[in-house]
Amino acid sequence: ATLNANYIKESLKDCYELPIEGVCKHEFVFDGLKDKSTGVTTLDVAKRLLDYGYHAPTIYFPLLFHQALMIEPTESESKETLDGFIAVMRKIAQEAAENPELVKTAPHSTPVHRLDDTKAALKQIVTWNELCETKDL
């Protein structure tokens, strides 16, 4: 896991802000994209990863970093899998530079698109019965 984390970190540090230099253990944190002028956030990057079939990583933690994106590869991933993830992260950085709206409105290929976080927090549905009674999903 340590080797994999350092491999990904070194491969992407030219595209993503690396707030702490040096060798990492099993995880590391980027602080968003290097190019902040696009307005693309860590949340946008995480949502765009879903379009490429990757589970979104932990975001906005630790709170020490404003746009924290925590990457924690497992020790069982092959180099080919890591290279695929690196290629997708590079593609997202390129998309953010060339077409920020594409990234800001992701995900596009999932059954549920971007949720209204405010509505979800204010109008929580916590039981199946509440879901069945709700017409405004």
pLDDT for 28 equals 97
Q: What are phi and psi of 59, to 5 degrees?
A: -125, 155
Least confident of 36-45, 47-56, 125-134: 125-134
pLDDT for 30 equals 98
This prediction has a pTM of 0.87
Q: How far apart are CA 93 and CA 105, in angstroms?
A: 15
pLDDT for 135 equals 66
CATH of 2-111, one of 3.40.109.10, 3.40.640.10, 3.90.1150.10, 3.30.450.20: 3.90.1150.10
Kindly report, residue by residue over 78-97, the tens digit of the pLDDT: 999 999 999 999 999 999 99
> Between these two residues, 113 and 60, which has the higher pLDDT value?
60
Q: How far apart are CA 87 and CA 44, in angstroms?
A: 17
Stretch 10-22: mean pLDDT: 96
Kindly report, residue by residue over 17-51, the tens digit of the pLDDT: 999 999 999 999 999 999 999 999 999 999 999 99
Domain boundaries along the sequence of the chain: 2-111
- What average pLDDT does the structure give for the chain? 94
